[in-house]
Chains A and B, each alone.
Chain A
Amino acid sequence: MMRNDPIKHVFIWPAVLVVLAISIFPLIYSLTTSFLSYRLIPPMPPRVVWLGNYIQLLQEPRFWNAILTTTLIAVTAVGLQYVIGFAVALALNARIPGERLFRVAFLLPMLLAPVAVALVARMMFNPTMGPLNQLLGHFGLVNLPFLTNGRWALACIIAVEVWQWTPFVILMLLAGLQTLPEDIYEAAELENASNWQQFWGITFPMMLPISAAVVFIRLIESYKIMDTVFVMTGGGPGVDTETLTLFAYQEGFKKFNLGYTSALSFLFLIAITIIGVTYLALLRPHLEKRR
């Protein structure tokens, strides 16, 4: 087939139209809705408010609280996942006895549905019936307000996130570690480099590209956290654990405030894009050095 053969349009355009229909159109429709005051309950006819929804959101303390909460959960949880995940991946890569069993056991949390994990966690942290407080009570200690105090509730959510998603980090980093060439380590040992020196001089820099990718994926995923928070705290107490997605859910599916929710979704998209671009910009010099 010639490069300029018009038949190519017959093959390309149906695909382009399908893509337009299923992804671009909803996006444009949603963007249009974000400029409207549009409620399903109580039913109100759509009214153009231009940037009104965006301005209202940016002036809304609850929106900034949701951004802060989401960022706190995402950054802390992903940071801990990376550190713990790297340590466990190194241990598994060192071919310790029973390594296969550990590998399977460590992966189990990731295979569970987040809703089920959150439900189990809610029971574990239950202030009166949960085993954790019962254990504390057994030792004569006071019950801790795991899910009824804002800070404790945030810590519990982060703990569950770390427990569930560290296996993903382990899996990815372990795969990366297994591709590192052995001869560099042999050379380092000949130079009497300590394990610590080998880690910082060889392992960590060589793992930087895959680390960057893993952290990026987890960061984006963590910003979308919804199910764990929804089941464990419902965003409470007050709005102390309310994340952006939960806020959007409350506005969209409980108050049926469609225009406002669309604006919120687009601000969320912008925030994620800024975070992603900043993250990649900060890492670029280090990554380019490795090329």
Chain B
Amino acid sequence: MLRRTLLMLATSLVTVYAVGDAKAACSPDYSGVTLTVATQTGPYIASALKLGADEWSKKTCGKVNVVEFPWSELYPKIATSLTSGDATFDMVSFAPAWLPDFVPYLTEMPKDMQSGKDWDDIEPAYRERLMVWDGKIYSQSMDGDVHTYTYRKDLFDDPKEKDAFKAKYGYDLAPPKTWKQYLDIAEFFQRPDKGLWGTAEAFRRGGQQFWFFFSHAAAYTNNPNYPGAMFFDPETMDAQINNPGWVKGLEEYIRASKLGPPNALNFSFGEVNAAVAGGQVAESIGWGDTGVIAADPKQSKISGKVGSAVLPGSDEIWNAKTKKWDKFPEVLPGPFMAFGGWQIAVPKAGKNQQAAWDFVKTLTSPEVSGQAAITGGTGVNPYRKSHTANLELWSKIFTPQEAKEYLGAQADSINGKNVALDMRLPGYFSYTEVVEIELGKALAGQTTPQAALDAMAKEWNRLTDEFGRDKQLAAYRAAMGLPPKK
């Protein structure tokens, strides 16, 4: 009997000790807490969230349930949930452009997360602009997004190709400085009989198409002499999308669609990456994922041969104020912060707000996010200074030359003097829907570029009036980093 009692006592002590030890491992302790986060269908971003979820679970003993929706359905799903005030999602991940629409339903980031080493490590373009609305921080960047240029180094370094290119176009084959050069290169490598095409961009409605068009137009419309006037006149809020700079951008975007693989009109960004990694195209533009996927030998036929550069630019930029082309002494590169990088935020209706912000902290920590950034398919691109500074981290996937070009292109784009910010406005979907529709018509040749852009401008002006011109103007100026209009 005594032996039995002693045995039971020993077992109880061991159990208590083990439980105590497990509890100590949970710091902070969120055991029993299950968070739900809404995001787009993976692998992009969803896999990064799962990576963060694993780390957070190890640390806090909590669980994270990642709920995925197709990209085209994400906005309505999140918007419906937020506006109805239900607590379905503890966190939502979304495009920065949607932040103005979601702000009334989101909690502010805890103050303790808005300072310190990790906070200062975030690139100012994100920390001071994309995460901010109305002077307050409502979301945390979990991805950095800027469009860059990717090319096949094996083709560009081939002496035969170099000679032939120079003979045909009269200048050296190299990453393009202007969009004219970009199209020349695409035309030069357009060889369908050899399974090689010039370029790959997204052209499909609902397939991230309009950001690629914006990238072309940014070079001709983001004028440093009249900042913030790319999409709207920051004085009057008149739409600028049909000015001559935009027309030139659209004409070149349409031309690029004819220098891609067959049925390029059906390409979303996923197909662009597949075409680049499959070695089907000589060059392309897009987010940083392209370079990472193309460098991965498991996914790519061109690993070890991937070059990167800043987007082409122009030495002529339309001035929305003077209504004239401004001539610059040299070509200004035209980096465009397309999309701007996924944001993650915590809704007011959420029942586990503290735990949710703790998860965000882990997810976006330099360690976890750094690992996500070098993992092909997570969709996470550099958004911290430590991401681009740590060459050792990137040597796991890139050759030294590849890493140098890739990180250089990322850093030079984000910190570029004339970097163009993406549009962020209340009613964002209403503004971009008409862009997608008219782009579809222009790409299919059903309408001229000017007519398509005129239709967009007409609808943008109508929407601005409907939503309230003064309100929209104030929001637009804030999004473009301009002071409030007096």
Q: Which residues of A contact B (CB under 8 A)?
A: 37, 39-44, 62, 126-128, 143, 145, 147-150, 234-240, 250, 253-257
Residues of B contacting A147 with CB < 8 Å? 266
For the complex, give the distance between the alpha carbons of A42 and B101 in Å.
6
For the complex, give the distance between the alpha carbons of A250 and B443 in Å.
22
For the complex, give the distance between the alpha carbons of A143 and B265 in Å.
13
Residues of A contacting B467 with CB < 8 Å? 42, 44
B433 on the A face (CB < 8 A): yes
Interface residues of B in 433-457 (CB under 8 A from A): 433, 437-438, 440-441, 443-444, 446
Residues of B contacting A234 with CB < 8 Å? 72, 205-206
- Surface stretch bound by A, among B76-84, B321-329, B403-411: B76-84
Residues of B contacting A127 with CB < 8 Å? 262-263, 266
Residues of A contacting B79 with CB < 8 Å? 40-41, 256
For the complex, give the distance between the alpha carbons of A25 and B262 in Å.
53
Are B205 and A254 in contact, CB atoms less than 8 angstroms apart?
Answer: no
B75 on the A face (CB < 8 A): yes
**Which of A42, A235, A237 has a CB less than 8 Å from the CB of B427?**
A42
Residues of A contacting B265 with CB < 8 Å? 145, 148, 237
**Which of B101, B206, B438, B466 has a CB less than 8 Å from the CB of A41?**
B101
**Which of A128, A253, A257 has a CB less than 8 Å from the CB of B76?**
A253
Residues of B contacting A250 with CB < 8 Å? 433
Residues of A contacting B75 with CB < 8 Å? 254
B321: min CB distance to chain A, Å: 28
Residues of A contacting B198 with CB < 8 Å? none
Q: Which residues of B contact A (CB under 8 A)?
A: 72, 75-76, 79-80, 83, 100-101, 104, 204-206, 261-263, 265-266, 271, 426-427, 429-430, 433, 437-438, 440-441, 443-444, 446, 466-467
Most B CB within 10 A of own CB, among A128, A143, A257:
A128
Are B433 and A254 in contact, CB atoms less than 8 angstroms apart?
Answer: yes
B46: min CB distance to chain A, Å: 20
Complex: chain B residue closest to A253, CB-CB:
B76
Residues of A contacting B261 with CB < 8 Å? 128
Complex: chain B residue closest to A235, CB-CB:
B205
Q: List 22 A-B pairs, Cβ < 8 Å.
A: A37-B466, A40-B79, A42-B427, A43-B83, A43-B104, A126-B266, A128-B261, A128-B262, A128-B263, A143-B263, A148-B265, A234-B206, A235-B205, A236-B205, A236-B440, A238-B446, A239-B437, A240-B440, A250-B433, A253-B76, A253-B80, A255-B430
Are A255 and B263 in contact, CB atoms less than 8 angstroms apart?
Answer: no
**Which of B76, B437, B443 has a CB less than 8 Å from the CB of A254?**
B76
Most B CB within 10 A of own CB, among A62, A236, A240, A256:
A236
Are A42 and B426 in contact, CB atoms less than 8 angstroms apart?
Answer: yes
Are B206 and A236 in contact, CB atoms less than 8 angstroms apart?
Answer: yes
Residues of A contacting B444 with CB < 8 Å? 148-150, 237-238, 240
For the complex, give the distance between the alpha carbons of A253 and B265 in Å.
26
For the complex, give the distance between the alpha carbons of A236 and B440 in Å.
7
Complex: chain B residue closest to A133, CB-CB:
B263
Q: State whether A148 and B263 are in contact (beta carbons under 8 Å apart), knowing that A40-B83, A42-B467, A256-B79 are contacts in the complex.
A: yes
Residues of A contacting B438 with CB < 8 Å? 238
Complex: chain B residue closest to A61, CB-CB:
B455
5 interchain residue pairs of minimum CB distance: A127-B263, A238-B440, A42-B426, A236-B205, A238-B441
Residues of A contacting B446 with CB < 8 Å? 150, 238
For the complex, give the distance between the alpha carbons of A255 and B438 in Å.
17
Complex: chain B residue closest to A256, CB-CB:
B79
A219: min CB distance to chain B, Å: 28
For the complex, give the distance between the alpha carbons of A205 and B3 in Å.
96
For the complex, give the distance between the alpha carbons of A42 and B79 in Å.
10
Q: State whether A255 and B262 are in contact (beta carbons under 8 Å apart), knowing that A234-B206, A236-B206 are contacts in the complex.
A: no
Are B440 and A41 in contact, CB atoms less than 8 angstroms apart?
Answer: no
B103: min CB distance to chain A, Å: 10
For the complex, give the distance between the alpha carbons of A148 and B262 in Å.
11
For the complex, give the distance between the alpha carbons of A138 and B262 in Å.
15
For the complex, give the distance between the alpha carbons of A43 and B80 in Å.
12
Complex: chain B residue closest to A145, CB-CB:
B263
B449: min CB distance to chain A, Å: 14
Other A-B contacts than A234-B72, A237-B265, 5 sampled, CB-CB below 8 A, are A41-B426, A236-B205, A237-B440, A253-B80, A254-B429
B15: min CB distance to chain A, Å: 50
Complex: chain B residue closest to A255, CB-CB:
B430
For the complex, give the distance between the alpha carbons of A145 and B426 in Å.
36
Most B CB within 10 A of own CB, among A41, A126, A149, A256:
A41
A146: min CB distance to chain B, Å: 9
For the complex, give the distance between the alpha carbons of A19 and B444 in Å.
49
